[in-house]
Amino acid sequence: MTAPHTSQKPCLVFVHGGFCSHADWKPQSSELQDGYILVLPDLPGHGSAREEGDFSIATAATKMRAAQAAIGADEAVWIGHGLGCSVVLEAYRQDPREISGIILIEGHPLSPSVGANIPALDDAREARAKMKRMFASMLPASASLERREALLAHVDHFEDAFILTLLRALIAWRPTAEAIARSVQVPVEIIEAVRLDDGVFRALAENEHADWTLFLSSLVPHLTITQIPQGGHFLHLDCASEVNRLIDRFAKSILHPKS
């Protein structure tokens, strides 16, 4: 991610969700690496950046932008998942010239009602328990017990203090989302599968959309919505081939190889 962008390939920037890491994008990096330059940093406090514990949406976006700048790419499509969708929009606010298109996968933290689904921010024990309950509902019904246990371990890897820091950062940033969404002039694609209801993910019914999708669709002028039924929250893992196809189609419609 630090080498200059001398390739003719266009650039994709991937921003993972909260309590996850860049490794969650492995199905995308494996399939898309031949056609694109891929930028896959870890958010502060996550993965290889665990020591960067001073988390905020703004600092996370600044770090992601620096990763794009480090390879010399002056334009990219940005792809976010979960909390990463908030980071993508914040990066657009910081400098829209760097982002040619946006793909948002399961961006529930953008919902106006996200506060109702976030645990109390002064009780670390309760916050951990409720986050594990939320994570337990993220997978499709077909997921194995081993996969469910591995997912719950995502939360166990983080200390109580960081869980509260991340949730507080999310809530603190959320009031800026509407103004940012109104300012977005690049194409946006939403990929969704579930809704968040009382801290639990539930499959969308036919012709139903999640709150965050309805919120953005009322504000962003150039927006399309793709729903993957019964896909679960981790669509980029559980429905990787379909998500990869959507990313490739979207990026090819926007980005152009360097001449």
Amino acid at 191: I
> Which residues 6+ apart lie within 8 Å of 172 measured at CB?
56, 57
Average pLDDT over residues 235-255: 96
| Residue 204 tokens, joined | 């969308």
Tell me how far the alpha carbon of residue 144 is from its chain's centroid. Answer: 24
pLDDT digits (tens, 9 = 90+) for 201-224: 999 998 899 999 999 999 999 999
CA–CA dist 132, 150 (Å, integer): 12
**Residue 4's pLDDT is what?**
47
Q: Is the whole-model pTM more than 0.85?
A: yes
Q: Judge contact between 205 and 155, C-beta under 8 A.
A: no
Q: What's the DSSP call for residue 122?
A: T
| Residue 159 tokens, joined | 């200390």
Residue 4, domain member (yes or no): no
Residue, of 4 and 196, whose pLDDT is higher: 196
**Which residue range forms the structural domain that includes residue 134?**
11-254
Domain at 104, CATH number: 3.40.50.1820
Residue 3, domain member (yes or no): no
Residues written for the chain: 259
pLDDT digits (tens, 9 = 90+) for 107-134: 999 999 888 877 667 888 888 888 889 9
Domain tally for the chain? 1
Give the phi and the psi of residue 212 in degrees, each rounded to 5. -65, -35
